[in-house]
């Protein structure tokens, strides 16, 4: 009996582990099959809701919302603006400075020369802006990638308008300056800067526009009525959530259209030598769907390059584990980058854009307060006297903008979040308690993230 018991135990020990592996693999395959079915069920739901699920459908959806009627005229304006933009203005010292009226501007002759060349282009632009329609952009299709081919040329149009704006400010022509900013806003709208397929462009365009607004508010140039008009040119907050939803919908459509489960064009290299896991594809799809309502702000810690890269690659996006995926069981950043889309970057840029709007709106309110009281407020809370609410100066991280007023309220500094926390940064975590220019670590960030108003040597 003892011998028989030992023999049975021996057989269990020999056969048990392989049998357990077979059971685990079989169960893992069942889970993968279920995940694949759920993935296709989601795709069918998208199609029933009108979300494009193929490359052709994406192109058709974009074309339906744009106009081809004046494509040739817009192409002419974009090409001409691009040619004028090659005039090496970046090599002229002071060409990008915003100089108050009555003060010397050494680069003004060159700025005027650019504007003289740009006048026919700007006149043609005025004609096109009188037609209220969105611009047709030739779309280039390469497998599952899409891009708006002439998008980069719109930068040149913005540069021409901003050059005209600087000339108007230096001449003391506030009405002309407002008109230039209004045209910038209209051009952005023509190129669908609020559409899900143009989130990167929307961020670039609006941040460029708001940066020049902040520079103009730093000097005493606008009347109170004109400051109110500047506020109207900034994208309203109610659009922010719609941006997130549109960005997520477009990313989802692009991901589904790439056929991640069966497309031979997906190259995963050494990450997934046995192919992509349906479990991972489903996790990615559900992550994209949840992004608008789960969107949050995450500050980036400044770490050594190798450490930061390693942490980024291994960061787990979804903790549901696949039992048969080799060598990665979870969906992490490394796996995510093997997919034909790069989800998430639009939301990151949207948070940056959201905070930039807070910064710009608060700067405008500070100048309005100064007009009313002939001093800057002791704290941001006093901006309620000009109709502001705390959400105006609260960033996506739920922190308030940094603010400090100078002696007798004659000057002030307003700073926003640089998105990275540096070890040893004596400004503290996040926005911090002192301006970047006064910190022991990272003072070079001052030019990009702080704004001085009034009588100050920092202007």
Q: Residue 357 and residue 235: Cα distance in Å, rounded? A: 8
Per-run averaged pLDDT (10 residues), the chain, 459 residues:
62 72 72 84 85 79 73 86 75 85 92 93 92 65 48 80 95 95 86 52 68 92 94 75 68 78 54 69 76 51 40 48 64 62 55 84 96 94 92 87 92 85 62 83 82 67
Q: Residue 381 and residue 403: Cα distance in Å, rounded? A: 11
Task: Let me know: does 392 contact 414? Beta carbons within 8 Å.
Answer: no
Q: Which pLDDT does position 335 carry in this prediction?
A: 65
Does residue 148 sit in helix, strand or coil?
strand
Q: Residue 152 and residue 205: Cα distance in Å, rounded? A: 11
Residues comprising the chain, all counted: 459
What value, to the nearest 5°, has the Cα angle with vertex 51 and ends 46 and 57?
120
Task: Let me know: does 137 contact 148? Beta carbons within 8 Å.
Answer: yes
In 3D, which of 326, 298, 325, 295 has the Cα closest to residue 312? 298
Q: How many CA atoms lie within 13 A of 349 on its CB side?
A: 19
Does residue 331 sit in helix, strand or coil?
strand
Q: Residue 234 and residue 421: Cα distance in Å, rounded? A: 28
Q: Residue 366 and residue 362: Cα distance in Å, rounded? A: 6
**pTM (two decimals):** 0.77
Q: Which pLDDT does position 382 carry in this prediction?
A: 95
């Amino acid at each position: 009996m003892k011998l028989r018991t030992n023999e049975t135990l021996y057989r269990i020990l020999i056969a048990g582990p392989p049998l357990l592996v077979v059971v685990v693999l079989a169960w893992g395959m069942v889970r993968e099959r279920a995940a694949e079915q759920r993935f296709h069920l989601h795709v069918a739901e998208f199609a029933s809701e009108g979300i494009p699920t193929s490359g052709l459908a994406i192109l058709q959806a974009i074309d339906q919302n744009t106009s081809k009627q004046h494509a040739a005229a817009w192409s002419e304006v974009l090409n001409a603006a691009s040619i004028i933009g090659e005039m090496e203005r970046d090599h002229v010292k002071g060409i990008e400075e915003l100089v108050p009226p009555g003060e010397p501007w050494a680069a003004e002759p060159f700025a005027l020369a650019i504007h003289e060349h740009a006048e026919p282009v700007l006149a043609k632009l005025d004609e096109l802006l009188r037609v209220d329609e969105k611009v047709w952009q030739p779309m280039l299709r390469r497998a599952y990638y899409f891009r708006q081919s002439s998008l980069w040329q719109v930068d040149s149009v913005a540069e021409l308008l901003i050059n005209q704006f600087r000339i108007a400010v230096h001449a003391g022509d506030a009405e002309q300056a407002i008109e230039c900013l209004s045209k910038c806003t209209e051009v952005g709208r023509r190129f669908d800067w609020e559409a899900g397929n143009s989130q990167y462009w929307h961020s670039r365009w609006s941040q460029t526009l708001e940066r020049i607004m902040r520079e103009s508010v730093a000097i005493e140039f606008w009347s109170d009525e004109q400051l109110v008009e500047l506020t109207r040119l900034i994208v309203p907050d109610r659009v922010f959530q719609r941006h997130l939803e549109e960005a997520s919908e477009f990313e989802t459509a692009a991901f589904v259209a790439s056929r991640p489960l069966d497309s031979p064009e997906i190259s995963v290299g050494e990450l997934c030598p046995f192919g992509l896991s349906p479990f991972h594809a489903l996790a990615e799809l559900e992550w994209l769907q949840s992004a608008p309502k789960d969107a949050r702000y995450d500050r980036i810690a400044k770490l050594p390059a190798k450490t930061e890269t390693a942490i980024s690659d291994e960061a787990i996006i979804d903790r549901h584990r696949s039992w048969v995926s080799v060598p990665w069981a979870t969906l992490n950043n490394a796996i995510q980058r093997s997919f034909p889309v790069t989800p998430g970057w639009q939301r990151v840029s949207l948070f940056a854009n959201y905070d930039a709007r807070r910064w710009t709106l608060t700067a405008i309110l500070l100048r309005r307060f100064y007009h009313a009281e002939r001093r800057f407020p002791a704290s941001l809370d006093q901006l309620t006297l000009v109709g502001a609410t705390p959400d105006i100066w609260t960033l996506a991280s739920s922190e308030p903008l940094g603010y400090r007023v100078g002696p007798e309220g004659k000057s002030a500094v307003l700073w926003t979040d640089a998105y990275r926390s540096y070890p040893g940064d004596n400004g503290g975590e996040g926005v911090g308690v002192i301006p970047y220019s006064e910190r022991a670590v990272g003072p070079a960030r001052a030019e990009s993230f702080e704004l001085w108003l009034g009588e100050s040597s920092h202007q």
